[in-house]
Amino acid sequence: MQTLPPPPTRPLRILLTGGGTGGHVYPAVTVARTLRAHDTGSMIELLYVGSAGSLEERVAGQEGIAFTPVRTGKLRRASNPIHMINTANLRDAARVPLGVKDAMSIVKRFDPHAVLATGGYAAVPIGIAAETLRKPLLIHEQTVGMGLANRILARRANRVALSSEASLAHLPAGVKARALVTGNPVRPELAEGDRDKAAQALGWDGHRPDLPTVYVTGGAQGAQQINTLLAAVLPDVLARANIVHQCGPANVEAATAGAASLPEAERARYHVVPFLGAELPHVFALADVVVSRSGAGTLAELTALGKAGVLVPLMTSGGNEQVHNARHLADAGAAHALVGPDATPERLRGVLLDLLTDTEARVATAKAALTLGRPDAARDLTRVLLELAHRRA
């Protein structure tokens, strides 16, 4: 395990970019937190660049990180290339050179010692500007297969950080020589949960400690597909387990109504929440099985924490990345993947009941997940970034 270089004794300016989804934003923010914890002399200045009115702008504000917007364009992909020729794509294509112009101005003005790009459309203009102006560029890929933005930037980057060894096979030879596997940064507070505090933190009186707990989540907004699948198997699963269901703010009423006909004792073991905040670390600590999508951030959390997962990938994710992610874990025995037509109530019921009734199988799946985890990913990615910055400082 390599440690971070000594805290800087002279000013360092670090530019962070990446956005559109939490999978791009939170790795950058976690690195920012690591940098700040390491910066004992207040020598590191951070700037986050992303789309105006975006998730990254909101999160940067919450973290107290200075933010500057850049104009971006979005490529709306389709299985048939002809369908990609549409008004929205043509309009956004015209924004790309404007974004590069913005980025050139921002990078010249901030004059970073190093740039970290974590993917998404906002990262492209900044990455191009960094290469043009000869600023050290580190890109980070969260998924097994490289996303479009990082494919564009990979040949321009000084270093290419990957979340998985399996990603190396997707790289051209020239890029592979500059690549290293750091893992995908996970918020450190997730590892600090206490399973004995979870029920109290949730205000959940019906939880039975003698039964395993299933945590079902579809992300901050919920996932209708997962909610529908769970509703179909709810009685069978509740007969053997507790369930925490993070269903999304718009779906609480429907989820609660779906359990109304259950016996009172089983209904009490089904706890519905719109979203999870400070309680999340405790819920992860409590969970024996997690049912979720298979975005890069989710997989990083499941493997870092060693949780048996049942993955229902979003089939419309860019580059089919969630399917690749889910199958990568399934092939390693670290999760069960319900992909496409396999995502049925019957299949979900069978997988969950197997995991809930066979403790050895559940523990084996969790241990396999843990072997894929990289809990030191934030530190390792920060180390590479600081090494690039120190070379220029």
| pLDDT score, position 2 | 74
Dihedral of the CA atoms 109, 115, 120, 125 (nearest 10)? 40
Residue among 11, 15, 45, 10 nearest 130 (CA):
15
pLDDT tens column, 202-243? 999 999 999 999 999 998 788 999 999 999 999 999 999 999
| pLDDT score, position 93 | 52
Average the pLDDT over 324-329 and give the result.
93
User: For 66, phi and psi rounded to 5 degrees?
Assistant: -60, 140
Residue among 309, 326, 308 nearest 317 (CA):
326
Q: Quote the CA–CA distance of 163 and 385 in Å, as a whole number.
A: 15
| pLDDT score, position 74 | 58
User: Taking 60 as the threshold, does the pLDDT of residue 357 lie above it?
Assistant: yes
Residue among 78, 115, 70, 117 nearest 95 (CA):
70
Instruction: Please state which CATH number belongs to domain 188-372.
Output: 3.40.50.2000
User: Taking 70 as the threshold, does the pLDDT of residue 196 lie above it?
Assistant: yes
| pLDDT score, position 320 | 85
Tell me the pTM: 0.84
CA 315, 320, 326: angle at the middle one, nearest 5? Answer: 75
Express as a percent the part of the chain with pLDDT over 90. Answer: 80
Domain boundaries defined on the chain:
12-185+375-392, 188-372
Lowest mean pLDDT among 17-21, 208-212, 283-287, 305-309: 17-21
| pLDDT score, position 262 | 94
Tell me, which fold does domain 12-185+375-392 have in CATH?
Rossmann fold (3.40.50)
Average the pLDDT over 172-200 and give the result.
94
Helix, strand, coil percentages for the chain (3-state, nearest 5): 50, 15, 35
User: Taking 70 as the threshold, does the pLDDT of residue 92 lie above it?
Assistant: no
CA 370, 372, 373: angle at the middle one, nearest 5? Answer: 65
Q: Which residue has the tokens 């951070």?
A: 46
At 95, the pLDDT band (50, 70, 90 cuts) reads: low
238-273 per-residue burial string, b: 16 or more CB within 10 A, e: under 16: beebbbbbbbbeebbebbeebbeebeeebebbbbbb
Q: Quote the CA–CA distance of 164 and 169 in Å, as a whole number.
A: 10
At 91, the pLDDT band (50, 70, 90 cuts) reads: low
Same CATH fold assignment for domains 12-185+375-392 and 188-372: yes
Tell me the average pLDDT of the chain.
92
Determine the distance from the C-alpha atom of residue 248 to the mean position of all C-alpha atoms in its chain, rounded to a whole number.
17
Lowest mean pLDDT among 57-61, 318-322, 386-390: 318-322
Taking the CB of residue 306, how many other CB atoms lie within 10 A of it? 18
Counting Cβ atoms within 10 Å, is residue 136 exposed (0-12), middle (13-18) or buried (19+)? buried
Mention every residue, 6+ apart, whose C-beta is less than 8 A from residue 186: 30, 297, 300, 301, 304, 375, 377, 378
pLDDT tens column, 149-180? 999 999 999 999 999 888 898 898 899 999 99
Q: Which residue has the tokens 């769970």?
A: 230
Average the pLDDT over 274-291 and give the result.
96
